[in-house]
Amino acid sequence: MRNFSYVMPQTIEAASIAAAQKNSVLKAGGIDLLDLMKGDLVRPDHLVNLLSVGSPALREVAVKDDGLHIGALVTLAQLAASSTVPSVLAHAASVAATPQIRNVATVGGNIAQRPRCWYFRSATFNCARKGGNTCFAQEGDNRYHALFDNGDCAVVQASSTASPLVALGATVVTNRRRIAAGEFFVPTSVDITKEHVLGEGEIISEIFIPASARALKAAYREAGERESNDWALVSATVALDFDGALVKTARVVLGAVAAVPYRVISVEEALRGKPITAANAARAAEGAFAKAKPFALNTYKVSLGKTILKRAILAAAGQPELSTAGG
């Protein structure tokens, strides 16, 4: 690790000024950031510690008439244990990483974490996301990589909370503006060097979930190599609004399959006006991955993803996830 100055601002305004200095970075829990610094991928001159900002609102989940206000420094453990947070979000937070990490990792840092790709995270490879000319995953070891929009860069967005927040119609509130969660993340087709739209000195202060989300029936499902201490290989969040037995609106968001939480609009439209049955869920899951472009080593993510999505659809509708035929 290299030398840097350690800034401990008392207010968001002071943090923003410090973070806007040349070559400054913000630190919340530090789980992702310190990893990148130890790997010499991030070499800040100034490290601005958001944890020194005293504002209680940053650390609270507040229920108000308009919806839920989740402070950016609320930890994944707090989300997981909260009875006021939508259960789909609490569930996603509860299965992320490990208990130790969840106690430290914040929701703001979780959605702003840098993506997963071992070429991107190795200082040895000057990959396209770091300004080089090559995406080494295209021909290399691509077993964990993206299935969609992966031609120029194959990283995956690995935040467990991101997909539920997009599915719930959440808003990312910063010291400057309000950003729909679905527009917070930057697809590779727009810019392969960044994951989110935040500008210099821009700080997430809260995540807002509108009161209307309370009516949604939602579920999160993921599959990974290990039950703990690891990221999901693929995840799915489904949020349904029903009119009687028929789906009025659906949000279907896949995780770990693209550089952003991947909303599958065609499937959302296909589910609309229909009842949720095992057959409809299977058809929707099939359709969701119809345009996947797997690499040599990650075709398994397509079949895994279909199963996970089917289960998430059935779980959101409160139906049994496992048929006697399996899967």
Where on the chain is the footprint of ligand FAD (CB under 6 A)? 25-33, 50, 72, 96-97, 101, 105-106, 108-110, 112-113, 158-160, 198, 203-204, 229-232
Contact in structure between 49 and 27 (CB atoms under 8 Å): yes
Return the number of the residue (233 or 252) whose C-beta is nearest ligand FAD.
Answer: 233
Q: Are strands 67-71 and 204-210 parallel, antiparallel or unpaired?
A: antiparallel
Among residues 289, 298, 251, 250, the alpha carbon closest in space to that of 273 is found at 250
Euclidean distance between CA atoms 168 and 171, whole angstroms: 9
Q: How far is the CB of 176 from ligand FAD (least distance, A)?
A: 11
Q: How far is the CB of 188 from ligand FAD (least distance, A)?
A: 18
Return the number of the residue (280 or 298) whose C-beta is nearest ligand FAD.
Answer: 298
Return the number of the residue (223 or 278) whose C-beta is nearest ligand FAD.
Answer: 223
Which ranges of the chain would DSSP assign to H, the alpha helix? 12-19, 31-38, 76-81, 87-94, 99-104, 107-112, 162-167, 181-184, 265-271, 278-288, 300-316
Return the number of the residue (93 or 281) whose C-beta is nearest ligand FAD.
Answer: 93
Q: How far is the CB of 324 from ligand FAD (least distance, A)?
A: 31
Which residue has its beta carbon closest to ligand FAD? 109
Query: Strand, coil or helix: what is 269?
Result: helix
Return the number of the residue (55 or 249) whose C-beta is nearest ligand FAD.
Answer: 55
Q: How far is the CB of 156 from ligand FAD (least distance, A)?
A: 11
Q: How far is the CB of 293 from ligand FAD (least distance, A)?
A: 24
Phi-psi region of 300 (alpha: psi -120 to 50; beta: other; left: phi over 0): alpha
Q: What is the DSSP string of 153-204?
A: ---B---TTHHHHHHTT-EEEESS-EEEHHHHB--TTT-TT-SB---TT--E
Return the number of the residue (27 or 271) whose C-beta is nearest ligand FAD.
Answer: 27
Return the number of the residue (113 or 188) whose C-beta is nearest ligand FAD.
Answer: 113
Q: How far is the CB of 35 from ligand FAD (least distance, A)?
A: 6
Return the number of the residue (159 or 280) whose C-beta is nearest ligand FAD.
Answer: 159
Q: How far is the CB of 144 from ligand FAD (least distance, A)?
A: 12
Euclidean distance between CA atoms 223 and 76, whole angstroms: 19
Distance of CA 313 to the CA centre of its chain: 19
Angle between helices 278-288 and 300-316 (to 10 degrees): 140
- Helices and strands, number each (H, E), in the chain: 11, 12
Euclidean distance between CA atoms 15 and 10, whole angstroms: 7
Q: How far is the CB of 193 from ligand FAD (least distance, A)?
A: 14
